[in-house]
Structure 1
Amino acid sequence: MPIVSPVGHSEWAYALAKDLLETTLPRRWAHTQGVAEQAESLAPILGADADTLLAACLLHDIGYAPDLVDTGMHQLDGARYLRNVAGADERLCRLVAYHSCADNEARQRDLFDVLAKEFDQERPDLARALTYCDMTTDPDGRHLDVLDRLAEIHARYGPEHVVSRSITDATPCIVSSVRSVEAALSDVRQADTG
């Protein structure tokens, strides 16, 4: 696997994510493609970071790939693979490691110290943008409101699952991130029409 160059993250990320998810986890691949579509809609507010966000969106769930599962925390497993095997840019590793307020899940799984020791957090605006893309896309790649997405996650996992407990703890962070990105998009749209 080639080491990622600083240019063209998204093309490389697409090929890697497709290879890891399309056959083994087709529904997860559909979600990933929908998340990437959301990323493309954020280009007006991200400028030069749009390709980095798109790449992170394509890679955010690779830790679910059966060959990558180690800790059971897909954010950490995916970020480790990107760093240790794929030689990915550190920013991508950080975005994947902490996507969608993952520090809450790390606490639930007693992995927070491991996560914090191995990966620094990425810039807040990019982290919020990735959360927006992930948390406004359902498992089949369709776009929806963040509150509907949170309800879908709870329904899919059930109230006692670690993911549901983590999402409950992370809800304020997730909703705040999504609303912040929505406001930034609205401001750009108003400026374009005004």
Structure 2
Amino acid sequence: MADLITVWATHLAETELSTALPRRWAHTRGVTTRATEVGQLLGKDANLLVAAATLHDVGYAPRLAVTGFHPLDGARFLRDEHGADERLVRLVANHSFALLEAEERGLREELVAEFPLLEEPLLVDALVYCDMTTTPDGDRTTAEERVAEILSRYGDESVIGRFIRRAAPEIVGTVGRVEAALAAQPR
């Protein structure tokens, strides 16, 4: 059952993404579906994961793109315009190894100073899993296929290409850990 934070997150993400960036909205919906499935691992934090999954790419919205680095732009929007929960904001800011991309963009110090990584490995890993097992169209994929798709879309030598090549081993390892945790859950 959805709670207030997930209803709010869905409304906000849909408002910012569905018309301006329909493919990004499709991806977001798929990531949210994965989060709903993975929530069983997180107990009381299941709704926080769903909200973070729903808002993880909100910083791509054209009106929010200040730095051009969507985790930072999205987190600032959530903090400054909505006074969102600090853990939610920090998850959005740091989703899917954003710190590595921030380094490529020269924004590492800003990201770390404003939005330190949460020291909640399972929650952080679950969000990586949801994002990195979802295609741009919202379908399921493997971590390896997702990394290859990102590289083919952006190119090896782009900022995102350099970032994703650096992050790939961490992404694959994280997805593997979450898949193992899911497999260990009683049915």
Normalised TM-score (structure 2): 0.96
- Code of the aligned partner of 1:103: L
Correspondence for 1:113: 109
The answer on whether the counterparts of 1:21 and 1:65 sit within 8 Å (CA) in structure 2 is: yes
| Unmatched tracts of structure 2, length 5 or more | none
The one-character-per-residue Cα deviations of 1:42-85 (angstroms, maximum 9, x if unpaired) are: 12211111100000000000000000001111001100100011
**Post-superposition offset of 1:8:** 2.0
SS at match of 1:178: helix
Correspondence for 1:142: 139
Correspondence for 2:72: 76
Correspondence for 2:37: 41
Please give the residue correspondences for 1:153-172 in structure 2 after superposition, counting only pairs within 5 Å.
153-172=150-169
The one-character-per-residue Cα deviations of 1:98-135 (angstroms, maximum 9, x if unpaired) are: 00000000000010000000011121111100000000
SS at match of 1:42: helix
Q: Distance in 2 between matches of 1:143 and 1:22?
A: 20
Correspondence for 1:4: none
The answer on whether the counterparts of 2:39 and 2:49 sit within 8 Å (CA) in structure 1 is: no
The one-character-per-residue Cα deviations of 1:2-59 (angstroms, maximum 9, x if unpaired) are: xxxxx62111000000000000000000000000000011122111111000000000
CA RMSD, Structure 1 to Structure 2 (Å): 0.8
Correspondence for 2:25: 29
The answer on whether the counterparts of 2:36 and 2:50 sit within 8 Å (CA) in structure 1 is: yes
- Runs of 4+ in structure 1 off by over 6 angstroms are none
Q: Distance in 2 between matches of 1:124 and 1:75?
A: 18
How many residues are paired up?
184
Q: Percent identity?
A: 52
Larger displacement relative to structure 2 (29-38 or 160-169): 160-169
- Code of the aligned partner of 2:152: A
